[in-house]
Amino acid sequence: MLSGRTVVLGVTGSIAAYKIANLASSLVKKGANVHVIMTKNATNFINPITFETLTGNKCLVDTFDRNFEFSVEHVSLAKQADIFMVAPASANVIGKIANGIADDMLTTTIMACKCHKIISPAMNTNMFENPIVQSNIQKLKDYGYEIIEPASGYLACGDVGAGKMPEPAVLESYIMREIAMEKDMKGKKVLITAGPTMEKIDPVRFISNHSTGKMGYALAKIAMLRGAEVTLVTGKTSIPKPDFVKVVNVQSAKEMFEAVDKEFDTQDIVIMSAAVADYRPKEVATEKIKKKDGEAAIELERTEDILATMAARKKNQFVCGFSMETENMIENSKAKLEKKNLDMICANNLKVEGAGFGTDTNVVTLISKNWIKELPMKSKEGVAKDILDVIV
């Protein structure tokens, strides 16, 4: 996802510096060309050789290193960089960058950089709350630097409070959001539903289905990486929520209906990938249902068809549904496309291996009024990318 991209990581003197080895390694695995610049103090916490081994690039520390062409190194790296992240960023380095001081390799290079710059402050709570540090952070924000709010928790100095550098996975998600994909969905509002709905029968039981939410979550992640403003309305799932996405948690079809209803009119694209239970008990029993003659007596009613109701009132929205079929996939899906007034339907044949619920892959056929496009088996993220390519 990051091949052809250059990431510069600036590491300063804080105990959290050792965690950047994981970040550098993970970025390299994703195909990025990673360069690490350390302050002298940072070398007290982690050895430059660690980064050199992980990235295959020389780790830069001193502006006046005589072993390479120091005079142009910072400028050429600054030109190459697609993103520059300083993590952990000490109060000292934040102060220097904010006030135009460039007295080492890190501060000199970042000053010459025109790409997006992200700063992840990490320090003792009292230092972080110091008004001078806060004012420097504000100054950086005003100059267009992105600041990652430090997490709160137990700090290495023994204090508890704000000042912790977020975990490497969080730092990576900021980098990914910025450079993983072209921003061809910038300015678009996208609403995606995902996961199963759950209809209560009594305090113990419920009706649901096997949906894991993976397809919808992949769509939300890819749309976010392409620059869209994404709202994800999700039933209960066990997979991690995508970053930088507004998540609305729901359980029943009724709750999902209400959440979609609230957002629908302001959206540009609506993709309904949730597996909505078609039936719910007419009444939820307040006590555990007792079996009568060995048979549990529950009367069912249909849930509201969220997609059809919404699509009936669409104005400029592009509305896309999913269909799960076990036979006559194309005909049944085409019928749903017409009946529900959709712009596109993504048809799954549950009998095909690698398609449907629970798998990491999917096999989908895209159907619109005038054309049919069969996609090969791909990862769910790959399928999400293809679906969004067509919509865009």
Distance of alpha carbon 169 from alpha carbon 363, whole angstroms: 29
Considering only CA atoms, which of 231, 233, 245 is closest in space to residue 197? 233
- Comparing CB distances to ligand CTP, the nearer of 41 and 237 is 237
Q: Dihedral sign, CA of 55, 58, 59, 63?
A: negative
Task: Report d(CA 302, CA 280) in Å as an integer.
Answer: 6
Q: Do 36 and 11 form a contact (C-beta atoms < 8 A)?
A: yes
Active-site option among 59, 113, 157, 320: 157
Closest C-alpha among 271, 20, 36, 300 to residue 170: 20
Helix (H) or strand (E) holding 146: strand 146-147
Structure tokens at 335: 């019928």
Question: Taking the complex as a whole, how short is the minimal distance between the CB of residue 276 and ligand CTP, in angstroms?
Answer: 4
Phi, psi of 121 (to 5 degrees): -65, 140
**CB within 8 A of 251, min separation 6: which ones?**
197, 198, 235, 236
How far apart CA 217 and CA 32 sit, in angstroms, is 24
Q: Is position 157 annotated as part of the catalytic site?
A: yes
Nearer to ligand CTP, 175 or 253 (CB): 253
Residue 78: CB atoms within 10 Å: 18
CB of 339 to ligand CTP, least distance (A): 8
SS3 (DSSP) at 120: strand
Query: What's the min distance (Å) between Cβ of 307 and ligand CTP?
Result: 3
Residue 227 CB, shortest distance to ligand CTP, in Å, is 24
Q: What is the Cα–Cα distance from 349 to 69, expressed in whole angstroms? A: 60
Q: Could you list the residues that contact ligand CTP (CB under 6 A)? A: 253, 272, 274, 276, 278, 303, 305-307, 321-324, 336
Whichever of 222 and 307 has its CB closer to ligand CTP, that residue is 307
- Which residue type, as a one-letter code, is found at position 36? V
Q: Which two tokens stand for residue 100?
A: 């135009």
Nearer to ligand CTP, 124 or 323 (CB): 323
Residue 14 region by backbone torsions, left for phi larger than 0, else alpha for psi between -120 and 50, else beta: beta
Shortest Å distance, C-beta 38 to ligand CTP: 50
Instruction: Pick between residue 2 and residue 355 the one whose CB is nearest to ligand CTP.
Output: 355
Nearer to ligand CTP, 74 or 336 (CB): 336
Give least dist CB 289 to ligand CTP, A. 23
Q: Which positions are catalytic?
A: 157
